[in-house]
Each structure stands twice: as C-alpha cells, then as structure tokens.
Amino acid sequence: MKRVLIGGFLSLIGTIWSLAVLLTAMNNLVSGWSTPPGRLLSTIMELGVMPLFVLALLLAVSGLVILVMELFRKDR
C-alpha cells in the first residue's frame, strides 16, 4: 500500500509539473522555429525549462511504473 501511494504521488506531481511547463510554453510561443523539434519544443528550449520538463516526465513515468509493478505483484 505504501508503494502505491508513493507511485500515485510521483505520477501526480510529474503530471502537474509537465502541465505547468506546457502551459507556460504555450503562452510564450516563439515566432521562428525549425521543423524537427517543432514550435512547442523550441519554445521550451528557448525558455530554458527543458531540464524541468524532462524531470517532470521522468517523475510521471516512474510513478506509473511503480503503480504497474504493484498492480502485478503476486504476494497478496
């Protein structure tokens, strides 16, 4: 039960942080960008919040991995 709470909180915090970064980037879009990364990722890189965005995605994914591991655990 403890790991389920930890996984839930990690995924919730990661999701909230990534949404905050995305909303910030969407309010300050760049006027010039190149095609491969796209306009949104170019804005995130230009604002300098790419490390925070990567950290938020890692938190969300690690929380989901913990939740899935606890879902398929056999020792109940």
DSSP designation for 48: T
Looking at the 3D structure of the chain, how many domains does it have? 1
- Asked if residue 11 is part of any domain, the answer here is yes
pLDDT in tens, 5-42: 999 999 999 999 999 999 999 998 888 887 788 888 99
CB atoms closer than 10 angstroms to residue 44: 23
Residue type, 74: K
Global confidence as pTM:
0.84
- For residue 73 the two structure tokens come to 């655990």
In the chain the first and final C-alpha atoms are separated, in Å, by 11
How far apart, in whole angstroms, are the C-alpha atoms of residue 15 and residue 51? 15
Q: How many CA atoms lie within 13 A of 24 on its CB side?
A: 15
